Chains A and B, each alone.
Chain A
Amino acid sequence: QKEVEQDPGPLSVPEGAIVSLNCTYSNSAFQYFMWYRQYSRKGPELLMYTYSSGNKEDGRFTAQVDKSSKYISLFIRDSQPSDSATYLCAMSFGYGANSKLTFGKGITLSVRP
Chain B
Amino acid sequence: DSGVTQTPKHLITATGQRVTLRCSPRSGDLSVYWYQQSLDQGLQFLIQYYNGEERAKGNILERFSAQQFPDLHSELNLSSLELGDSALYFCATARAAQGVTEAFFGQGTRLTVV
Contact = CB atoms under 8 A, between A and B. Distances in A.
A46 interface: yes
A88 B43 contact: yes
Interface stretch (A14-22, A57-65, A71-79, A98-106): A98-106
Contacts of A96: 96, 99, 101
Interface residues of B, number: 31
Interface of B: 2, 4, 29-31, 33, 35, 41-43, 45, 48, 50, 55-56, 58, 90, 92, 94-96, 99-108
Q: Identify which of A44, A88, A102 gathers the most chain B CB atoms within 10 Å of its CB.
A: A44
Contacts, number: 78
Given A98-B31, A100-B101, A105-B43, 18 more contacts: A32-B99, A34-B100, A41-B107, A42-B107, A42-B108, A43-B92, A43-B107, A44-B43, A45-B105, A46-B102, A51-B99, A88-B42, A95-B96, A95-B101, A97-B95, A98-B30, A100-B56, A101-B92
A46 B107 contact: no
A26 to B, nearest CB: 16
